[in-house]
Structure 1
Amino acid sequence: MLTPEQIEAAILQLPSEEFCKLREWFYELDEQRWDEQLEKDIAEGKLEALAQEAIADFEAGNCRQI
């Protein structure tokens, strides 16, 4: 397996077009992993308290339209 330093050096050698492809791929991977983590947190109930707080604020009229 490559070290982070080796990966960084390889990235710095990429032509602009290949760098753009890598950046887009990395961005999509990051978004996918974020979505997976969010779904896991929801399934485990980790966001329930925040959801209930938001609902309570809304019902109390503590929200404004932006």
Structure 2
Amino acid sequence: MKSVEQLKSEIENLPPAELRELAQWLAERDADAWDEQIERDAAAGSLDFLVEEAREEQRRGKLREL
């Protein structure tokens, strides 16, 4: 397996079109990982405090319609 430094060196030499393709792939991969983490956190109840905060803001009349 190549080291990060080797990969960086190879990336720096990519043609612009391939660099854009790689950047898009990395962005999609990162977004997918983020979505999976949010789903795990939600399923585990780690985000329940956000629901409670929103309910409290609603009770105080501080929420606006989207």
TM-score by structure 2 length? 0.90
* Corresponding position of 2:48: 48
What is the correspondence of 1:1-66 to structure 2 with a 5 Å cutoff? 1-64=1-64
Distance 2:27 2:45 in 1: 27
Give the gaps of 5 or more residues in structure 1.
none
SS of 1:62 mapped into structure 2: coil
Work out the CA distance in 1 between the residues paired with 2:51 and 2:31.
22
Task: List 4+ stretches of structure 1 deviating above 4 A.
Answer: none
Percent identity, please. Answer: 38
- Over the aligned positions, Cα root-mean-square deviation in angstroms equals 1.4
TM (norm. structure 1) is 0.90
**Structure 2: gaps spanning 5 or more residues:** none
Hey, what's the Cα distance between the residues in 2 that align with 1:33 and 1:60? 35
Q: Shift of residue 65 of structure 1?
A: 5.4
1:29-64 CA deviation, whole Å, 9 max, x = no partner? 000000000000000000001211112112211224
